[in-house]
């Protein structure tokens, strides 16, 4: 997928473009339905399926005091959008200046002048422009004026509840992985780069990949059965989310993953860790022997779970 950072860098003329627009934090089942709808329509028109997303999240710019966590990082979001079939994704830098654009200015500068799509897919709660003044009705009228159709995608529900990012953040934060996975349409996971640690796990016979997580809400502290995606391959493993109390006092949360039967270096590579099930809380150990014995028990339990 071609990723274009900033609308001003769009130079290509798109043929019969069908555009999906949204923040898409989490790329949950509702987002998937919207993006896949645009992809299918582009195929019918013999055109190009595009996505437009926004970074940072508008809430981070307009209401930073809320401290809203992302469900996944931007790079993880882009990877998932690509897997849904989009050929190009435009990442719009959301700033206070951008937020002050009128609905008309947004449509002319960002939609018509740069993309000129045949159709645009949005969710039923889509609003745009200064003060969220751009309604769906306004968008549809602008489409008639400028020559594009607006397709409003109905929300995807679980029971009576609409699937939304706020509910998913809450479920992940509470450790309700199965419920969150049902709304996401995939397992709860994080994507990050493997960085150098202190190599302590290797000395104990349990080498770990230390994941640097720049953005993304993570489950509560503890030890988890996980599946690890490296390229196109998936491996079983166990992971600790915690502050490593047995070794030093540290307020920073670490994600350390031991991948079963894997012996290659992963430094500076991006991997995806999917949390399957929590098996215990993080503990402080008084001796190396006690620590290694617990890790062996953990590995046996995780292997049973993942088998």
Q: What is the DSSP string of the chain?
A: -EEEESGGG--PPPSS-EEEES--TT--HHHHHHHHHHHHHHHHHT--EEEEEEES-HHHHH-GGG-PPPSS-HHHHHHHHHHTT-SEEEEEE--HHHHTS-HHHHIIIIIITTT--SEEEEETT--BSGGG-B-HHHHHHHHHHHT-EEEEEPPPEETTEEP-HHHHHHHHHTT-HHHHHHHHTS-EEEEEEEE----HHHHTT---EEEE-SS---PPSEEEEEEEEETTEEEEEEEEEE--TTT----S-EEEEEETT--S--TT-EEEEEEEEEEE-----SSHHHHHHHHHHHHHHHHHHH-
pLDDT digits (tens, 9 = 90+) for 241-288: 988 655 565 567 889 999 999 988 898 999 999 999 999 999 888 888
Q: Rounded distance, CA 140 to CA 222, Å?
A: 49
Find the radius of gyration of the CA atoms of the chain.
Answer: 22
Q: Which residues contact 59 (CB under 8 A, 6 or more apart)?
A: 66, 68
Distance, CA of 196 to CA of 297 (rounded, Å): 26
CATH topology assigned to domain 2-162: Rossmann fold (3.40.50)
Q: Which CATH number fits domain 187-306: 1.10.10.60, 2.40.30.30, 3.90.180.10, 3.30.200.20?
A: 2.40.30.30
User: What is d(CA 44, CA 38) in angstroms, rounded to the nearest whole number?
Assistant: 10
Query: Could you read off the pLDDT of 117-158 as tens digits, one per residue?
Result: 999 999 999 999 999 999 999 999 999 999 999 999 999 999
Q: Which of 238, 170, 242, 234 is nearest to 207 (CA)?
A: 238
Which residues, including other chains, have CB under 8 Å from residue 260's CB and lie 6 or more apart?
235, 236, 237, 238, 299, 303
Determine if residue 196 is left, alpha or beta; phi over 0 gives left, psi from -120 to 50 gives alpha, anything else beta: beta
Amino acid 245: pLDDT: 58
Residue ranges of the chain with pLDDT lower than 50?
A: none
pLDDT at residue 216, as a whole number: 79
14, 112 Cβ separation under 8 angstroms: no
Query: In which region does residue 138 sit, left (phi positive, over 0), alpha (psi from -120 to 50) or beta (all else)?
Result: alpha
Domain boundaries, the chain: 2-162, 187-306
Residue pair 240/256 in contact (Cβ under 8 Å)? The answer is yes
- 2-162 and 187-306 share one fold: no
Instruction: Check residue 215 and give its pLDDT.
Output: 74
Provide the pLDDT for residue 250: 59
pLDDT score for 124: 96
The total of other beta-carbon atoms located within 10 Å of residue 209's CB is 26
Provide the pLDDT for residue 47: 97
Contacts of 230-234 with CB under 8 Å at 24 or more apart are: 230/259, 230/262, 230/266, 230/269, 230/271
CB of 174 closer than 8 Å to CB of 196: no
Q: Provide the pLDDT for residue 286.
A: 84
């Amino acid at each position: 997928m071609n990723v274009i950072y900033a609308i001003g860098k769009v130079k290509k003329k798109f043929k019969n473009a069908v555009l999906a627009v949204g923040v898409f934090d989490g790329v949950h089942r509702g987002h998937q339905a919207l993006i896949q709808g645009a992809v299918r329509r582009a195929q019918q028109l013999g055109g190009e399926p595009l996505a437009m997303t926004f970074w940072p999240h508008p809430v981070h710019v307009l209401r930073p005091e809320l401290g809203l966590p992302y469900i996944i990082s931007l790079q993880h979001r882009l990877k998932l959008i690509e897997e849904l079939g989009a050929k190009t994704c435009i990442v719009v830098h959301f700033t206070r200046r951008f937020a002050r654009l009128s609905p008309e200015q947004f449509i002319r500068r960002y939609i018509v002048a740069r993309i000129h799509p045949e159709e645009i897919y949005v969710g039923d709660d889509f609003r745009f422009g200064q003060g969220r003044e751009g309604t769906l009705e306004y968008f549809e009228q602008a489409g008639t004026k400028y020559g594009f159709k607006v397709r409003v995608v109905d929300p995807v529900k679980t029971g009576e509840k609409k699937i939304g990012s706020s509910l998913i953040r809450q479920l992940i934060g509470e450790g309700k992985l199965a419920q969150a996975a049902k709304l996401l349409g995939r397992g709860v996971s994080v994507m990050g780069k493997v960085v150098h640690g202190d190599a302590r796990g290797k000395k104990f016979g349990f080498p770990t990949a230390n994941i640097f997580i720049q953005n993304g809400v993570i489950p509560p502290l503890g030890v988890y059965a996980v599946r690890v995606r490296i390229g196109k391959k998936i491996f079983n493993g166990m992971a600790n989310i915690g502050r490593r109390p047995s070794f030093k006092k540290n307020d920073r949360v670490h994600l350390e993953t031991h991948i079963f039967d894997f012996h290659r270096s992963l430094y500076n590579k991006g991997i995806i860790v999917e949390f399957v099930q929590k098996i215990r809380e993080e503990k402080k150990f008084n001796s190396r022997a006690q620590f290694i014995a617990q890790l062996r028990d953990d590995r046996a339990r995780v292997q049973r779970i993942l088998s």
